[in-house]
Amino acid sequence: MYRLEELSSAQARELMSREDAIVIIPVGSVEQHCEGPLGTDLMIAQGVAEAACERVSGPCVLAPPIAYGFSAEWSLAPGTVSLSLQALQLLLRDVITSLVRSGARNVVIVNGHYGNSPAVEAALRDMMPSLPPEVAVVQVNYWEALELDVGHASDAEAEVMKALGYSVDFGRCECLQGSPRGAKVYVRPGEGPATLRSPARGLTRDFIGSAVAEAIEAALGAARGSRRPLP
């Protein structure tokens, strides 16, 4: 694994332009997580991306993370820092364009925050027509790779953090209620918390890294297959 910020310009160009090289950009958020760290989603995105980068089959370059995401629903909670959807899309576009200009052929967004997904998808869809046919850019949501509903500040999310080497206690959220997708969403204060019964017990960093690495390679393979030149 190589860290982009530690490479020289020539080294970055040589590595990223290899046909089998993968560049991973972790994208997280800084938002309330009850009594837990504001950077939970960022810490997970970084940890998951690093574990996966160590396990993909080709050379892997880990880019510095994009720390802030789309967290408008928590914007009134102290410490939450949210980008607008448009700002996040433009930021992603500029970062990816710079990497492709530097020779990157396989770029992966490892997303640690559910609220980012629409912005990432929109940015990638908007970029597709302008990308060279040999370039693949994909999004991998870590919870989908793990087939895990992590919710928000849930027991499951705490287990993911634990597997990545963090000890967290989200404590007592004033109120959690179910969303249409089955996750748990922090809402206005109520009588007490409702937490997920975590299906994540026993998760390990090795398992997380292997599962996400497999999802990355599958997504890139599908993307390459869908970008065949028109006759």
Contacts of 13 (CB under 8 A, 6+ apart): 102, 103
Among 158, 140, 141, 138, smallest CA distance to 199 is for 158
Extents of the domains making up the chain: 2-149+204-226
Render pLDDT for 133-185 as a digit per residue (tens, 0 to 9).
Answer: 999 999 999 999 999 988 888 889 999 999 999 999 998 775 444 443 444 44
Distance set, CA 142 to CA 40, 61, 165, 210 (Å): 13, 18, 16, 11
Encoded tokens for 176: 């959690």
Measure the CA–CA gap between 36 and 55, rounded to whole angstroms.
Answer: 29
Apex CA 73: angle with CA 25 and CA 44, to 5°?
30
Whether the per-residue pLDDT at 188 is higher than 60: the answer is no
Measure the CA–CA gap between 209 and 221, rounded to whole angstroms.
Answer: 18
Among 169, 153, 170, 161, smallest CA distance to 46 is for 161
β strands within 159-211, DSSP E: 176-178, 184-186
Name the residue with higher pLDDT: 64 or 185.
Answer: 64
Helix (H) or strand (E) holding 9: helix 9-16
Q: pLDDT > 90: what percent of the chain?
A: 76
Residue 1: other Cβ atoms inside 10 A: 15
Q: pLDDT > 70: what percent of the chain?
A: 86
Which pLDDT band, with edges at 50, 70 and 90, does 208 fall under?
Answer: very high
To the question of pTM greater than 0.85 for the whole model, the response is yes
Measure the CA–CA gap between 170 and 9, rounded to whole angstroms.
Answer: 41
2-149+204-226, what's its fold? Rossmann fold (3.40.50)
Mean pLDDT score across all residues of the chain = 87
What pLDDT is attached to residue 224? 86
